[in-house]
């Protein structure tokens, strides 16, 4: 790995000049990047055990070095009181006393192996020795000499190609586990959780803020419900959300959604408009303060308004699956302006009929909303989903499965949308066995089906597709009755939406029978959250949720897309998934990518779909703006901020492509192990979408 001493780095940073110097460059136009003036909190860097480590590296308290003569690093982890321990082959011993302080554990210290799959936490508040042998067996003990039985908090996986299994570890604080597969998992529990809360029934995430619903929480009466806000980078609980007028049976938290600093929480059995008529509440996520209570303009009964909710920018959508606008339980949905709480439009299916279940699921991205209708019609109605213009409430298209998903497949049970890609779950589909489940990808501009998604290891009754979410080019699909960790323990799957290819399977490191992991899922950039409402950590069916950080060994990570999935583009000029906002020449938006290596310093940044023949600037920042969602700036979104470094001015070729030629890390003064953010800002004059004269690509996150 490339090494730079501290003084060299400081000299290089000074050579870049102050932010004022950056703005005083020869590029005297709006491209001069006022974006670089903004300083926002640094996004937390996530270190993954899946990455290749070099002897002597110590990122975030993790040490790695070779002790077995294979020249490949072995793993050590941070202990309960943040002591570190050097390890031999496959051994982690993060004990704060006895084995603490970097002491090497001899191979003969191994305890008797116990069953593979995991270990639990002890009651003495000290971390215990964890050992894996070549067969994958694991065990643990502390210095009291007692072996503690195997539970389910350890992942065992070969990761350094030496033929031995390597381990993930749970500290006794109970908060975080580092997975050997290259992902980090943080388990979320309500600070005041109790039996029957069903915490994890609903989940959502936007940037660095996550929200989890607990509809049977009883603070305001039996099953009044609540929701909890978390820092999605650390798993720290921020606030508990309660309705100002909460009452028994409201089920607040049955549905949740979040966009930027606004969250919406559904309470489908609230009685404000009559018995079980339902409502939804808006909250400010920075303060936890209730902003508004949303009610429909009509007051049909029964209703269930708030059964499903979604939000994008300043527009929210609320579903009421059992309203009677088109007949008994035909269903409806409503659009609201979140800045005023004003209803924009009521949505009904153009061909709606009784038992449609329209509004069972809803989602929104930019100016496009989607509503699922998974109901049953004895006359042979096909389950479907509907696209709407979220600014007018006009129906755009009806989505149908190409293989004829009938009502008993559950098509429309779950829906999600990001940019021009939508996903619809069909959790009772039978392709992999009875009620194994499936999901479908659609192009929202044409209504055309792109792909059908199936779990690579799908089996009967998995209910794959019970929950879906999408961010950029990554989709996540829940399968809450999957049995990997026991009967109905549950799981979730990641897919590349451009190819329909399965990327990974997410299984809780401490999963158990009837946890229902995957009952709810959400994703924002490289952070996914999976709800497990049946988990028993705080009592029977108290519930939990898991944050999964998906970076692994993926190298440069794109984020901050102008596709409507996060912060809306400045003038509704959304691009395609994975790109920046649309520009004058390319409606798909400009894309920033990278090739080459961080070690040695050969990384090349490439912008495509930029203004042909136009000037642009590659620049570096040490912060992800608004937790990675970005902020409106010019015709695009400002993604990279903080300490600004101007890397290189380049003229794009006739196809709108531009590549860097400088040594990125050297020019930017980057030290090994640092995480930096990159973006391309470019001139786009003469009739641009928002008439600002400049635009930006998506962001790119690189750990050196």
Mean pLDDT on 658-670: 93
The pair of three-digit structure tokens given for residue 360, joined into one six-digit string = 């069972």
Q: Which DSSP category does 198 fall into?
A: -
* Domain residue limits, the chain: 6-45+556-562+569-703, 50-182, 419-439+456-532
Other beta carbons less than 10 A from residue 66's beta carbon: 15
pLDDT tens for residues 433-488? 999 999 999 999 999 999 999 999 999 999 999 999 999 889 999 999 999 989 99
Does residue 108 have a pLDDT over 80?
A: no
Confidence band of 555 (pLDDT split at 50, 70, 90): low
Mean pLDDT on 533-557: 85
Q: Could you give the percent of the chain with pLDDT greater than 70?
A: 69
Give the pLDDT score at 686: 77
Mean pLDDT on 395-418: 86
Confidence band of 278 (pLDDT split at 50, 70, 90): very high
Cα 446-395-497 angle, rounded to 5 deg: 40
pLDDT tens for residues 412-429? 999 999 989 999 999 999
Does residue 655 have a pLDDT over 80?
A: yes
d(CA 202, CA 472): 21
Q: 431 with 456: CB under 8 angstroms?
A: no
Better-predicted residue by pLDDT, 161 or 501: 501
Q: Could you give the percent of the chain with pLDDT greater than 90?
A: 52
Nearest to 154 by CA among 173, 175, 174, 138: 138
Does residue 339 have a pLDDT over 60?
A: yes
d(CA 567, CA 499): 25
**What is the rounded average pLDDT for all residues in the chain?**
75
d(CA 70, CA 64): 13
Mean pLDDT on 44-58: 28
pLDDT tens for residues 571-610? 989 888 889 999 999 999 999 999 888 878 889 999 999 9
Where does 552-656 show beta strands of DSSP type E? 557-559, 591-595, 604-608, 615-621, 623-624, 631-633, 636-638, 640-641, 645-651
Does residue 159 have a pLDDT over 50?
A: no
């Amino acid at each position: 790995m490339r090494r730079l001493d501290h003084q060299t780095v400081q000299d290089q940073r000074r050579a870049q000049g102050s932010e004022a110097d950056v703005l005083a460059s020869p590029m005297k136009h709006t491209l001069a990047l006022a974006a670089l003036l903004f300083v926002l909190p640094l996004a937390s860097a996530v270190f993954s055990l899946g990455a290749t480590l070099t002897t002597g590296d110590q990122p975030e308290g993790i040490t790695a070095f070779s002790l077995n003569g294979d020249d490949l690093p072995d793993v050590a982890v941070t202990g309960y009181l943040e002591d570190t321990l050097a390890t031999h082959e496959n051994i982690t011993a993060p004990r704060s006393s006895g084995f603490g302080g970097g002491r090497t554990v001899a191979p003969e210290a191994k305890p008797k192996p116990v069953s593979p799959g995991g270990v639990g936490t002890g009651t003495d508040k000290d971390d215990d020795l964890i050992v894996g042998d070549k067969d994958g067996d694991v065990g643990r003990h502390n210095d009291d000499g007692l072996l503690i039985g195997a539970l389910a908090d350890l992942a065992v996986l070969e990761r350094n190609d030496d033929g031995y299994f390597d381990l993930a570890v749970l500290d006794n604080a109970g908060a975080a586990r580092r997975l050997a597969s290259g992902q980090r998992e943080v388990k979320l529990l309500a600070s005041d959780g109790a039996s029957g809360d069903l915490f994890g029934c609903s989940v959502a995430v936007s940037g660095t803020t996550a929200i989890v619903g607990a509809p049977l929480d009883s603070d305001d009466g039996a099953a009044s419900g609540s929701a909890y806000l978390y820092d999605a980078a650390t798993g720290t609980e921020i606030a508990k959300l309660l309705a100002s007028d909460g009452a028994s049976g409201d089920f607040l938290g049955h549905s949740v959604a979040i966009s930027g600093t606004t969250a919406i929480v559904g309470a489908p059995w609230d009685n404000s408009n009559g018995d079980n008529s339902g409502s939804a509440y808006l909250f400010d996520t920075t303060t936890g303060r209730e902003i508004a209570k949303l009610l429909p303009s009509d007051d049909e009964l029964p209703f269930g308004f708030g059964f499903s909710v979604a939000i994008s920018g300043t527009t929210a959508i609320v579903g009421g699956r059992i309203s009677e606008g088109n007949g008994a339980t035909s269903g409806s949905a409503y659009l609201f302006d979140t800045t005023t709480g004003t209803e924009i439009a009521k949505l009904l299916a153009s061909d709606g009929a009784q038992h449609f279940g329209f509004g069972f699921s809803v989602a929104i991205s930019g100016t496009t909303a989607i509503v699922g209708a998974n109901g049953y019609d004895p006359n042979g109605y096909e389950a479907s989903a509907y696209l709407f213009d979220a600014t007018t409430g006009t129906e755009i298209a009806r989505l149908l499965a190409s293989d004829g998903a009938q009502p008993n497949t559950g098509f429309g049970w779950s829906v999600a949308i990001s940019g021009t890609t939508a996903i619809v779950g069909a959790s009772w589909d039978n392709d992999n066995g009875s009620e194994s489940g499936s999901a479908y990808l659609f192009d929202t501009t044409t209504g055309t089906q792109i792909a059908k998604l199936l779990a690579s290891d799908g089996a009967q009754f998995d209910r794959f597709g019970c929950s879906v979410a999408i961010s950029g080019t990554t989709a996540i699909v829940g399968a809450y009755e999957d049995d990997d960790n026991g009967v109905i323990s549950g799981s979730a799957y990641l897919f590349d939406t451009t190819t329909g290819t399965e990327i990974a399977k997410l299984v809780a490191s401490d999963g158990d029978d009837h946890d229902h992991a995957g009952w709810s899922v959400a994703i924002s950039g490289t952070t996914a959250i999976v709800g497990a409402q049946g988990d028993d950590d705080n009592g029977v069916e108290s519930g939990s949720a898991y944050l999964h950080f998906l970076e692994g060994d993926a190298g440069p990570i794109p984020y901050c897309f102008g596709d409507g999935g996060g912060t809306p583009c400045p003038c509704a000029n959304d691009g395609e998934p994975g790109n920046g906002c649309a520009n004058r020449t390319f409606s798909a938006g400009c894309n920033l990518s990278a090739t080459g290596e961080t070690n040695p310093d050969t990384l090349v940044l490439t912008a495509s779909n930029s203004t042909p023949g136009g000037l642009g600037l590659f620049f570096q920042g040490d912060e992800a703006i608004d937790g990675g969602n970005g902020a409106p700036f010019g015709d695009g979104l400002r993604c990279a901020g903080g300490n600004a470094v101007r890397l290189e001015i380049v003229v794009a070729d006739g196809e709108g492509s531009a590549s860097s030629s400088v040594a990125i890390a050297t020019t930017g003064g980057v030290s090994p192990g640092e995480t930096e953010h990159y973006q391309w800002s470019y001139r786009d004059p003469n009739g641009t979408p928002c008439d600002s004269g400049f635009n930006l690509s998506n962001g790119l996150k690189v750990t050196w």
